[in-house]
Amino acid sequence: MTSPIVVRPQTTIVQVSSNSAIVKSPIVETQTIAAIDQTTVLKPIVETQTVQAGIQGQAGRNGSDSTATPIIYSTATALSALRVLRLNELEQLEYASCDDPTEAFNIAGFLSIAVGSGVLATVDQRGIFSDSSWSWTPKRPLYLGLNGFLTETPPQSGFLIQLATTITAQKITFEIQDATLL
């Protein structure tokens, strides 16, 4: 006795023989290669398509990796903690701001401690941060606002970039996303 063919919604039986069936499904296309007792073994059917080569785009960001190495740059001025920074034309750290579209693709990261002017500062491009003075709405996106501040309110001009998601009222996970010019 062969095992029954289970047909899910939107699944089409393409071909049936005494011991195998080819089925087409929106999830995966498979072929039964053996039917033993009540067990059916499925083998994926792999289709190869030839596509025309395109132009290589810009390299994307690395995947989510909590062990990302922080970057270290000199500061242009004294900087407060818990702010988003960018690199200026001299490759020095200063506050990023959503009102200047030229900064949209130049976010350096998050500064977790205050630093003085002209010193080397460590900036994190991703990570989990907490501060007892924060009062975020949990599980909400955070965007770059003015002068390096994070905000729950998306800006209406300049550019939009989500930089963090709130975990709790005092804890966020920071990870730079792609910017959209407004």
Q: Return d(Cα 11, Cα 28) in angstroms, integer.
A: 10
- Count CB neighbours of 98 within 10 A: 26
Widest CA span in the chain: 80
Q: 73 to each of 24, 119, 167, 171, 180, how far by Cα in Å?
A: 55, 8, 28, 25, 26
CA atoms within 13 Å, Cβ hemisphere of 22: 4
Q: Report pLDDT for 54.
A: 55
Q: Does the pLDDT at position 31 exceed 80?
A: no
Structure confidence at residue 111 as a pLDDT band (50, 70, 90): very high
Q: Higher-confidence residue: 19 or 8?
A: 19
Q: Return d(Cα 155, Cα 74) in angstroms, integer.
A: 29
Q: Are 70 and 122 in contact (CB under 8 A)?
A: yes
Partners of 166 in the beta sheet?
172
Which residues lie below 8 Å from residue 11, measured CB to CB, with a gap of 6+?
A: 23, 24, 25, 26
Q: What is the pLDDT of residues 116-173, one digit of tens each?
A: 999 999 999 999 999 999 999 999 999 999 999 999 999 999 999 999 999 999 999 9
Q: What is the pLDDT of residues 60-73, one digit of tens each?
A: 444 444 456 688 99
pTM (global) more than 0.85: no
Q: Does the pLDDT at position 80 exceed 70?
A: yes
Structure confidence at residue 96 as a pLDDT band (50, 70, 90): very high
Q: What is the pLDDT of residues 132-142, one digit of tens each?
A: 999 999 999 99
Q: Report pLDDT for 37.
A: 47
State the DSSP string of 98-148: TT-GGGTT-EEEEE-S-B-TTSEEEEBSEEEEE-TT--PPTT-EEEE-GGG
Q: Report pLDDT for 71.
A: 87
Q: Report pLDDT for 26.
A: 47
